[in-house]
Chains A and B, each alone.
Chain A
Amino acid sequence: MLPNTLGLLFFFGIPVLVAFYTSFQEWNAIQPPVFVGAANFERLVRDDAFWNALKNTVVLAVMSVPVGMALSLSVALLLNQRLPARNLLRTAYFLPVVTSIVAASIVWTWIFQPRYGLLGNLLAPLGLRDVNWLTRPDLILYPVAVVTIWLRLGFDMVLFLAGLQAIPRELYEAALIDGANRFQRFWHVTWPLLSPTTLLVMVLSIISAFQIFDQVYVMTSRTVRGGVGGSATTLALFLYMRAFTNSEFGYASAVALVLFLIILGITVFQLIVQRRWVFYQSEGE
C-alpha cells in the first residue's frame, strides 16, 4: 500500500502543489524561473486569446451536453424494453466509446471534408457539398460538438441503463394498479428515481466538455491548429500550446489553475445539488 500511496503523492500530489506555485512564476525555455507574483493572472485577464478559448469551451459544452444527454437518455429508455436485437443495438451505440478519440477524429475530419467528404455528399441535394466545415470560424465548433456527442453517447447510455435497471419494479407495478399511464409512470416514477444518475451524467459530461482536447487538436491539424483565428481553441488546447509550443510554463500553469477551479466549481455544485434536489430511494448510501 505504501508504494502506491507514495507513487500517487509523488506523481500527482506534488504536481498539484507545483502547478499552483508555477502559476506565480515567469518561466521560459532559456532562463530559470522567476517569481512574478500575480503577473500571470493579470496577463490572463487581459489576454483576448484566453477569453476566446474560454468562450469556445463554454459554447462547446452548451452545444454538446444537453443534446448528448437528451439523446443518451432517449436511447436508454427505448433500449430498456423487451426488444429483439437489443444487445446488438446496444453494442452499436457503445462502439465509439472504445475507439480512440484521435482515430475517430481523423475519420470525422475526412467525413467533414468539403467536396469529397461523406457528409457534404449526403447533403449535396441541399447544396451543401462544398461547405468547408473545418476552416470556417463560424462553423467549426459544430463538427467538434458532433464528434464529442458521438464519442460520449454510449458511455452516458450505459450509465442511464444502469440507473433505469436499478429502479425497483414494485414501484411500476404499484403505479400500474393506480392506473397511471405510460407518461405518468415516467414522470412520477422513472424521472425522480433516475435523478441521481441524471445529475451524475450531467456533471461528468460538463467536466469532460471542459477538457476537450484530442478532437480539436486532430480536427484542426490539417489547417491551423486551434482553428482559423483560434476559432476552435479550447482551454485545454490553449494551455497545451502555451506550455509545449511556446514553453511559457508559468503562464500556462495559470490557465491550468483556472481550468482546475472551473472543474472544482462544477464538482461542488454537484455536491450541493445532490443534497437538496436529488431524490434518493434510501438513505445511507
Chain B
Amino acid sequence: MLGRRGNHQTPFYDRIPLPTVGVILTVLCAGAVVMVLPFLWMVSSACKPPAEINRLPVTWAPQNVSCAENLQALYATSPHFTRYMLNTAFMTIGRTLGQLVTCSLAAYGFARFRFPGSNLIFAVLLGLLMVPFQAIVIPEYLLIRGLGWLDLFAAIIVPGTFSAFALFLLRQSFKQIPLELEEAAEIDGANPLQILWRIVLPLSTPALAAFAVITVQAAWNDFLWPLVVTTSAETRVVTVGIALLQGQRNTPWNLLMIGSLLATLPMLVMFALLQRYFIEGISMSGLKG
C-alpha cells in the first residue's frame, strides 16, 4: 500500500525561501481557480433567470437570483427528477452494501483458506480486472435481457454487487492482519464467520471505509450501464436523466445547470465530510496496476 507500508516516516521537505513560496502559491492558486471555475459557473448559471443566461455582456453572478424558479421549471420539464435522484441513491446503496458483503466474504476466503484450485480461480478473477467494462457491455446486456431483467433495478444492482477490484483490495488488507489474533479466536471456538465479523472486519475499518467511499462515488456517477439497461422513468438514474435533458436540444442552460448541481451535490457533500477516505481509496487503487 503506497506510503502505508510500515515505515511511518515524515517525508522530506525542502527549506524554501519566502519569495519562492509566494511564486509557488500564486501558480497553484491560479491552477486551482481553473479547476474550481466550472463549479462556480454551474452554481451561478443555475441561479440566473433565462433572460440573464443568453445576454451579453456575460455576468459572473446572477443579478436576479432565481434558483427557486429554475427548480420549478426543471420539474416542469423533467417531472420525474426526484425519482431519478432516489433511484440513483437506492442503486448506489444496494451496490455498495452488496459489494461489502460478498467481497469481504470472498476476500477473507481467498486470504486465509487454501483449497484445490484456489490459486487458479483467484488468478482468473484477477484477470477480469484487466477487461474493460466496455468490452463486455454487449454480452452483459444480452445476459440481463435473457434473464428478463431489462429495466429492473436488479439489472444495475446485481452485477454491480460483484467486483474483482474490491476482492483484490480487501484480500490485501485482510492479509495484513496478524494471524495470531485469528488463531486465538479459533482456539476460543469461534467459527470462520465469527472471526471475520468480530476480528477481521473491525480491524479493517479504514480500508473498508475507503473502499466503500470510492464504490459509492463510482456507483453514483455510473452512466454507460444504466443508459443501456434502463428505458423507463421508473428506473432511470440521475446521470441518464440529465443527459437526456441535455439531448433535448432546446433545454435552457439554467435548467441543465441546476440539474447538474443537484446530481453533483450529494457527492460534493460526501467528499467534504469524508475527504480522507477518498484520498486513501485513490491511493489504494494505485495498487491496481
Contacts and interface: CB of A to CB of B under 8 A. Distances in A.
A169 interface: yes
Contact-residue size bin, chain A (C-beta under 8 Å from the other chain): 35 or more
A150 interface: yes
A214 B288 CA distance: 23
Contacts of A2: 106, 109
B279 interface: yes
B190 interface: no
Contacts of B247: 221-222
Nearest to A85: B25
B224 A240 contact: yes
A113 B7 CA distance: 51
A172 interface: yes
Contacts of A96: 35, 38
Contact-residue size bin, chain B (C-beta under 8 Å from the other chain): 35 or more
Given A103-B242, A167-B12, A12 B38 contact: no
A99 B261 CA distance: 10
Contacts of B7: 168
B85 interface: no
Contacts of A211: 132-134
Interface stretch (B62-70, B74-82, B267-275): B267-275
A252 B138 contact: yes
A63 interface: no
A8 B137 contact: no
Contacts, number: 284
Interface in A181-214: 182, 197, 199-200, 203-204, 207, 210-211, 213-214
B28 A270 contact: no
A109 B259 CA distance: 14
B106 A1 contact: yes
A243 B136 CA distance: 12
B239 A102 contact: yes
A225 B220 CA distance: 24
Interface in B126-144: 128, 130-143
Given A99-B268, A106-B242, A4 B32 contact: no
Contacts of A79: 28
Nearest to A116: B54
B137 A83 contact: no
A5 B106 contact: yes
B24 interface: yes
A218 interface: yes
Contacts of B260: 103-104, 106-107
B3 A150 contact: no
A22 B139 contact: yes
A81 interface: yes
The main secondary structure of chain B at its interface with chain A is helix
A18 B164 contact: no
A102 B263 contact: yes
Interface in B239-287: 239, 242-243, 246-247, 249, 253, 256-257, 259-261, 263-264, 267-268, 270-271, 275, 278-279, 282-283, 286
B185 interface: no
B197 interface: no
B158 A11 contact: yes
Contact of B242 (A4, A102, A163, A256): A102
Interface in B213-230: 217, 220-221, 223-224, 228
Interface stretch (B39-47, B176-184, B200-208): B39-47
Interface in B77-106: 102-103, 105-106
Interface of B: 2-3, 5, 7, 9-14, 16, 21, 24-25, 27-29, 31-32, 34-39, 41-42, 45, 53-58, 102-103, 105-106, 108-110, 113, 121, 124-125, 128, 130-143, 158-159, 161-164, 167, 217, 220-221, 223-224, 228, 239, 242-243, 246-247, 249, 253, 256-257, 259-261, 263-264, 267-268, 270-271, 275, 278-279, 282-283, 286, 288-289
Given A95-B271, A150-B35, A153-B35, 14 more contacts: A3-B106, A4-B167, A13-B124, A15-B136, A15-B143, A82-B13, A93-B31, A95-B35, A100-B239, A102-B221, A109-B246, A116-B58, A236-B134, A253-B138
26 contacts: A1-B110, A4-B167, A5-B125, A12-B164, A16-B136, A16-B139, A18-B143, A81-B21, A93-B31, A95-B268, A98-B278, A100-B220, A100-B221, A102-B243, A103-B239, A103-B263, A107-B42, A111-B38, A116-B53, A169-B10, A213-B224, A221-B246, A249-B138, A252-B138, A256-B135, A257-B135
Q: Which 7 A-B pairs have the closest CB atoms?
A: A1-B109, A4-B106, A100-B221, A18-B139, A15-B139, A169-B12, A92-B32
